[in-house]
């Protein structure tokens, strides 16, 4: 049997403009797929209209194009995929791997871990609101290609987690798994802020009988006060520099050492020829002054 063709993807949520942190994920996922002769796809994760910022999908796509990041194929919009998510929820319900939950926010503890109130049926007096995935004590450990072995257990992190919300919207964890499979993604390269979602996604893949892609979580930039850089736009290279400088900065952040002063197209040619994941810092966060921290 032929090995699966390499497919990578970048999957921004339209909750704001492209910023340096998301550019790093875009560049990393693009180079990892394209330097292996694979395809790089773009998916707009517009499944949460209340959080969406109007016009940001189009601005993200425009900025990616301006930076030379052009996807190999049509853009997938998650807002067009609700039927597929509903089918996945129904399959999980049929298999007894998901259940209706009648809890509202005030029934839940602040820890964020679901205490299991509706696991064996909705208590009298409550109505079904959301749908939760039944997390068993199964092993969803995986080997991250950059961060090494990860043995997070969803039973400890989230407990049974929501796959369809009380407002009828589908949860990120479910949509991402259904669409990574639909787009035949073989490798996920994204920011380490999503590392602790991965074990939940692997559990869902197993429950739905889907193959898991490989995972590589890139360091994310944080400010000295520990906030993600996405919240600080003042000196963001995506906004304040020409495209070649912004891409060069993302490459430097990823440990690659491009010659300075290249044009955008020469920079991409250089990056595709020289992409080396062994140079990427294997940490979860990086402070702006390049002090590495785990
Ligand atoms: N849509 C998510 C975000 O913008 C990323 C999803 C993913 O890469 O799995 O944070």
Q: Inter-axis angle of helices 243-253 and 264-274, to 10 degrees? A: 20
What is the C-alpha separation between 131 and 148, in angstroms, rounded? 32
Domains 7-79+178-286 and 82-141+150-172 share a fold: no
Provide mean pLDDT across the span 51-56.
Answer: 95
**Which residue reads 């000196």 in tokens?**
235
Query: Would you call 191 exposed, middle or buried from its count of C-beta atoms within 10 A (0-12, 13-18, 19+)?
Result: buried
Of ligand 1's listed atoms, the one at least distance from the Cα of 197 is 9
Q: What is the pLDDT of residue 293?
A: 39
54 CA from centroid of ligand 1 (Å):
18
Of ligand 1's listed atoms, the one at least distance from the Cα of 9 is 8
| DSSP state for residue 74 in the 8-state scheme | P
Dihedral over alpha carbons 232, 177, 126, 105 (to 10 degrees): -10
Instruction: Report the share of the chain in percent with pLDDT over 90.
Output: 79
**pTM check: above 0.95:** no
136: CB partners within 8 A, 6+ apart:
155
Q: What is the pLDDT of residue 140?
A: 87
User: Which tokens in the block code for residue 76?
Assistant: 């997938």
Residue of 190, 200, 213 best suited for mutating to test ligand 1, as the one with most atoms within 8 Å of CB: 190
Q: What is the pLDDT of residue 227?
A: 67
189 CA from centroid of ligand 1 (Å):
10
Domain residue limits, the chain: 7-79+178-286, 82-141+150-172
Of ligand 1's listed atoms, the one at least distance from the Cα of 45 is 1
Q: What is the pLDDT of residue 229?
A: 61
162 CA from centroid of ligand 1 (Å):
17
| DSSP state for residue 183 in the 8-state scheme | T
Q: Inter-axis angle of helices 195-207 and 172-182, to 10 degrees? A: 60
Instruction: Report the share of the chain in percent with pLDDT over 70.
Output: 92
Whether the CB-CB separation of 60 and 43 falls below 8 Å is answered with no
209 CA from centroid of ligand 1 (Å):
22
Whether the CB-CB separation of 151 and 196 falls below 8 Å is answered with no
| pLDDT tens for each residue of 3-17 | 779 999 999 999 999
Q: What is the pLDDT of residue 231?
A: 47
Of ligand 1's listed atoms, the one at least distance from the Cα of 180 is 9
User: Which CATH number is correct for 7-79+178-286, 3.40.50.620, 3.30.1220.10, 3.40.30.10, 3.40.50.2300?
Assistant: 3.40.50.620
Average pLDDT, the chain: 91
Q: What is the pLDDT of residue 294?
A: 35
125 CA from centroid of ligand 1 (Å):
37
User: Which CATH number is correct for 82-141+150-172, 3.20.20.70, 3.90.800.10, 3.40.50.1110, 3.30.390.50?
Assistant: 3.90.800.10
For ligand 1, atom 6, name the residue with the nearest CA.
11
231 CA from centroid of ligand 1 (Å):
16
**Which residue reads 């503890």 in tokens?**
109
254 CA from centroid of ligand 1 (Å):
19
4 CA from centroid of ligand 1 (Å):
23
| pLDDT tens for each residue of 260-289 | 999 999 999 999 999 999 999 988 888 765
29 CA from centroid of ligand 1 (Å):
12
Q: Confidence class of residue 228 from pLDDT cuts 50, 70 and 90?
A: low
For residue 66, CA distances in Å to 70, 85, 127, 234, 243 come to: 9, 32, 49, 20, 7
Residue of 7, 45, 170 best suited for mutating to test ligand 1, as the one with most atoms within 8 Å of CB: 45
Q: What is the pLDDT of residue 2?
A: 67
Sign of CA dihedral 72, 272, 293, 222: negative
What is the C-alpha separation between 83 and 79, in angstroms, rounded? 10
List residues near ligand 1 (CB under 6 A).
Answer: 11-13, 45, 176, 190, 194
| pLDDT tens for each residue of 147-195 | 999 998 898 889 999 999 999 999 999 999 999 999 999 999 999 999 9
**Which residue reads 């919009």 in tokens?**
77
Provide mean pLDDT across the span 8-36.
Answer: 96
Residue of 13, 26, 193, 196 best suited for mutating to test ligand 1, as the one with most atoms within 8 Å of CB: 13
Of ligand 1's listed atoms, the one at least distance from the Cα of 10 is 8
What is the C-alpha separation between 231 and 106, in angstroms, rounded? 28
């Amino acid at each position: 049997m032929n090995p699966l063709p390499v497919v990578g993807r970048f999957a921004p949520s339209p909750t704001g403009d492209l910023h340096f942190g998301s550019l790093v994920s875009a560049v990393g996922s693009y180079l990892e797929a394209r330097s292996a002769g694979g395809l790089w796809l773009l998916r707009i994760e517009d499944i949460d209209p209340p959080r969406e910022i109007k016009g940001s999908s189009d601005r993200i796509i425009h900025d990616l194009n301006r930076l030379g990041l052009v996807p190999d194929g049509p853009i997938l919009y998650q807002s067009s995929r609700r039927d597929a998510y509903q089918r996945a929820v129904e399959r999980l319900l049929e298999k007894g791997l998901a259940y209706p939950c009648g809890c509202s926010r005030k029934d839940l503890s602040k820890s964020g871990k679901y205490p299991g109130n509706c696991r064996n049926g909705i208590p009298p007096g409550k109505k079904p609101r959301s749908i939760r995935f039944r997390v068993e004590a199964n092993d969803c450990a995986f080997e991250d290609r950059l961060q090494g072995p990860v043995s997070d257990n969803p039973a400890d992190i989230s407990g049974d987690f929501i796959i369809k919300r009380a407002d009828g919207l589908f949860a990120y964890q479910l949509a991402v798994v259904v669409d990574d499979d639909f787009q035949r993604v073989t490798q996920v390269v994204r920011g380490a802020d999503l590392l602790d979602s991965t074990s939940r996604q692997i559990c869902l893949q197993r429950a739905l009988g889907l193959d898991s892609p490989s995972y590589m979580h890139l360091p994310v930039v944080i400010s000295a006060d520990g906030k993600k850089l996405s919240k600080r736009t003042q000196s963001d290279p995506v906004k304040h520099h020409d495209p070649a400088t912004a891409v060069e900065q993302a490459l430097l952040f990823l440990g690659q050492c491009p010659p300075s002063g290249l044009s955008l197209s020469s920079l991409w040619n250089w990056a595709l020829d020289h992409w080396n994941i062994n140079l990427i810092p294997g940490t979860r966060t990086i402070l702006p002054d390049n002090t590495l921290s785990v």
